[in-house]
Structure 1
Amino acid sequence: MAAMAPLVSVLLMVVCVAALSPAAGAVRFVCNATAPRASTCQALVAYAPPNATTLAAVRALFQLRSHRALLAANGLPLSTPPTAPAPSPLRIRLPCLCSGGAGATFQRPTYRIRAGDTLDAIARGVFAGLVTYQDIAAANKVSDPNKIAVGQELWIPVPCSCDPVGGDPVVHYTYVVLPGSSVASIAQDFGTTEATVLALNRMPDAKSLLAGQVLDVPLRACSSAISNTAIDRNLRVPNGSYILTANNCVSCGCSSSTWQLDCQPTQGISSSLCPSAKCGDMFLGNTTTSPTSSCESTTCSYAGYTNSTSFAILANLTTSSACDAAAMSPTEQTAHSSAFRLASTWLRWTELIICLHVILLCVGFLKHD
């Protein structure tokens, strides 16, 4: 029996190392937002179609409510037809729900099982690795992943988050790591920091990044003048995309020069359907430069919409300094990740100490026998 002690110790060590390593089948983003309306938000998902397809096909797969919304999320012109080829990756805007400390897309997308489908093929093939078959099985209470029925409808719980980062609201982007990528290159591409990416994804270091890994990448959102009483008060738009709001009457994009929400009346929408929005003699989106400073400008900014008694589009005058904003680059964001990293490190050391105690107890027990 004593001769087996080294073998048992090795096995226990393997179990502990496995417990400390990220679970291959777990794709969960931290989501603890609990403020009013903060537990739900609009998140973005990066979808790389496995085969050549059209915008219409992608819209149907994710059950998006409008073709315009898909175009807006990807910064494509509203004149782009549904039959146009889908770029890769494609940004999909989906509702996110926080529950139990983690976030997943709310109710959508769903998938109806066809002959020959497996949960793994659905996860890896149809949804391009955004989820794992374990996540699909758990979300749909499938006890045996090998026993699924043709015609069965499954909810695909794509991971997402609504949490602020460092106290600032962001748009969380669900991103599948491409081969050859690094944490530093991903952070640079999306205007964040390496430390922030590591902290959000509870990664011990940049070397642990794997191709195909699903990352939570925070995208800086433009600040706005939207009123707290407006229906779309939680509107968040990152750079590189725009969003249609106020019953599609207003198109809002994010300006990377001022980092202010830039909203204009939507082109191509009948003016008879949209009430006018003005700030005195200025119309929504109009800007005037200060006669005393070329840096300072005043804009008739979008302030949200209401529909309590009648549909109304709100607007307010805002003043901004383009010179100060231009001096800031998207990457000049505070990491706000030290506490997160320390907590993660403390937990991992605690787990290691517990594992070592278990090993010593088992070895002592075997020697005693």
Structure 2
Amino acid sequence: MEVLLICLLILCPVLIQGKSTIEPCSISGPCSALVGYVLPTDLKVSELATRFQVDPFSLLGANGFDPYASGAQTQILPAKSMVKVPIKCSCVDGIRKSVSTMYQANQVDTLQSIAESVFGGLVTWDQLKDANKIADTGIIDVGQSLVIPLPCTCFNGTDDGLPAVYMSYVVRNGDSLISIGKAFGTTVTDLMGVNSLQSSLITAGDILAVPLSACSSSNLNLSSDSDLLVANGSYALTANRCVQCNCGPNEMNLHCVESTLGTSCPSMQCNDSNLLIGDAIEQQTSAGCNVTACLYGGYLNGTIVTNLTNFLQPQCLGKYLGPVYTKPPTSPATTTQNSTIPESPSSAMSPSSHTIGVVKSNPASQPLGSSCPANEPLRWLSLLSIWITGLPYLIHVCAR
């Protein structure tokens, strides 16, 4: 005789889906953001760019990889390595998210496998269901095009009053706020403040907004590209790839120079000067270093705007030597100081005998997800699939 066990929530095993930081918004303009993505398999740069529908050169730039290296777009990035993927963070339904990535479902795909295996836990199955208005059964068609609502934050492009780009980072087993802070150049206090954390406790699967120090275009007085924000140690290509704007690693002023990656580039010479964008003449005086520089002023109606400027600085820095490129990974690397990257951080929490969201196969009723209100920064917690007498239930909890 089978014994029916009735469990209380505090006693029954539950599937916990990670918390994610939500930024309420009221303006529609997008900002530049990043997602930290752990490759499930070996992928070429071009393949990864296609997965997220981003320019391969933008992907190279976000990671500081040399765009002039032979085969830069076809170099293979190894499985389990983490890369920064640039995305545009929009204001959708009152919260910040990116909805520019699309994915075409394959025969073996389920909403759960797409969320966890393809996109590395950056999105949840119920978010996919809601974003694509999929029925509670979770059935998807082969070839169906799905919107992938990726998490992102902007926070006005600043952190403690300084320029910053925010990266959505999926917490891995073994991570701590200390190790994440050390890996990305921030502090536990900053991470707790940005993510509205009441304690330093984090769990694998949580998605944190990690502020990365950045260079803004405020020092250039741009007539366009006014929102150009580049994370430290990376670069951005603008003006149809004719201009490369570099940030850091030592100087946190955006330094824009001529790029050879563009085609049919307009003139980049400053008026009344032989200087090109990025060039400067320095002269040491008793008052300091007198600098005449040709600065990038933006891209307007197919024309590159240049600004010839003179200023005094404490000492002469010498000729700009260009960016310090990061060597692409050739083997899996850890994302933080003391943690390794599992193949699928959420897979250990997934019940093997049940599938959430299927492709035309054995439809099973799934509960409809709900969303947290977006009237202030919230921590979002979903408790999924509490198995009581074999039936799934879904509970959403919004916690400040």
Shift of 1:118: 1.0
From the superposition, tell whether residues 289 and 129 of structure 1 become closer, same or farther in structure 2 (CA, over 3 Å).
same
Structure 1: distance between partners of 2:253 and 2:314: 10
From the superposition, tell whether residues 274 and 59 of structure 1 become closer, same or farther in structure 2 (CA, over 3 Å).
same
SS in 2 for 1:221: strand
Shift of 1:300: 2.4
Q: Which protein has the bigger helix share?
A: 1
Pair 1:286-2:279 in alignment:
yes
Residue 215 of structure 2 aligns with which residue?
Answer: 222
Pair 1:96-2:96 in alignment:
no
Shift of 1:274: 2.5
Structure 1: distance between partners of 2:42 and 2:127: 26
Which of 1 and 2 has higher RCO (CA within 8 Å, sep 6+)? 2
Q: Is the 8 A contact 1:98 1:161 kept in 2?
A: no
From the superposition, tell whether residues 265 and 320 of structure 1 become closer, same or farther in structure 2 (CA, over 3 Å).
farther
Identity of aligned residues (%): 33
One of 51, 55, 59 as aligned partner of 1:61: 51
Residue 152 of structure 1 aligns with which residue?
Answer: 144
Pair 1:85-2:76 in alignment:
yes
Gaps of 5+ in 1: 1-9, 16-22, 326-342, 348-369
Residue 131 of structure 1 aligns with which residue?
Answer: 123
Shift of 1:100: 4.1
Structure 1: distance between partners of 2:182 and 2:148: 30
Residue correspondence of structure 1 range 38-49 to structure 2 within 5 A: 39-49=29-39
Residue 60 of structure 2 aligns with which residue?
Answer: 71
Q: Is the 8 A contact 2:62 2:231 kept in 1?
A: no
From the superposition, tell whether residues 205 and 26 of structure 1 become closer, same or farther in structure 2 (CA, over 3 Å).
closer
Residue 197 of structure 1 aligns with which residue?
Answer: 191
Residue 313 of structure 1 aligns with which residue?
Answer: 305
Residue 344 of structure 2 aligns with which residue?
Answer: none
Q: Is the 8 A contact 2:19 2:207 kept in 1?
A: no
Pair 1:260-2:249 in alignment:
no
Of the structure 1 ranges 259-268 and 93-102, higher mean CA displacement relative to structure 2 is found in: 93-102
Shift of 1:11: 6.4
Shift of 1:237: 0.3
From the superposition, tell whether residues 188 and 305 of structure 1 become closer, same or farther in structure 2 (CA, over 3 Å).
same
Shift of 1:126: 0.5
SS in 2 for 1:222: strand
Residue 179 of structure 2 aligns with which residue?
Answer: 185
Shift of 1:213: 2.1
Residue 168 of structure 2 aligns with which residue?
Answer: 174
Structure 2: distance between partners of 1:136 and 1:62: 15
State the one-letter code of the partner of 1:250.
V
Q: Is the 8 A contact 1:96 1:160 kept in 2?
A: yes
TM-score between the two structures when normalised by the length of structure 2: 0.67
Of the structure 1 ranges 215-224 and 230-239, higher mean CA displacement relative to structure 2 is found in: 215-224
From the superposition, tell whether residues 285 and 297 of structure 1 become closer, same or farther in structure 2 (CA, over 3 Å).
farther
Gaps of 5+ in 2: 1-6, 318-375, 380-400
Pair 1:119-2:111 in alignment:
yes
From the superposition, tell whether residues 253 and 279 of structure 1 become closer, same or farther in structure 2 (CA, over 3 Å).
farther
Q: Is the 8 A contact 2:21 2:209 kept in 1?
A: no
Structure 2: distance between partners of 1:190 and 1:235: 21
Shift of 1:257: 2.2
From the superposition, tell whether residues 103 and 254 of structure 1 become closer, same or farther in structure 2 (CA, over 3 Å).
same
Q: Which protein has the bigger strand share?
A: 2
Structure 2: distance between partners of 1:144 and 1:320: 65
State the one-letter code of the partner of 1:63.
Q
From the superposition, tell whether residues 319 and 258 of structure 1 become closer, same or farther in structure 2 (CA, over 3 Å).
farther
From the superposition, tell whether residues 185 and 149 of structure 1 become closer, same or farther in structure 2 (CA, over 3 Å).
same
CA deviation string 1:204-231 (max 9, x = no partner): 211x212232211111221333335x23
Q: Is the 8 A contact 2:268 2:306 kept in 1?
A: no
Structure 2: distance between partners of 1:131 and 1:73: 21
Q: Is the 8 A contact 1:242 1:253 kept in 2?
A: yes
CA deviation string 1:81-112 (max 9, x = no partner): 23211252122111110234421113x21111
Residue 209 of structure 1 aligns with which residue?
Answer: 202
From the superposition, tell whether residues 179 and 319 of structure 1 become closer, same or farther in structure 2 (CA, over 3 Å).
farther
Structure 1: distance between partners of 2:36 and 2:287: 39
Q: Is the 8 A contact 1:31 1:102 kept in 2?
A: yes
Shift of 1:179: 2.7
SS in 2 for 1:158: strand
Pair 1:301-2:291 in alignment:
no
TM-score between the two structures when normalised by the length of structure 1: 0.73
4+ residue segments displaced more than 3 Å: 25-28, 165-169, 293-297, 318-323
SS in 2 for 1:240: coil
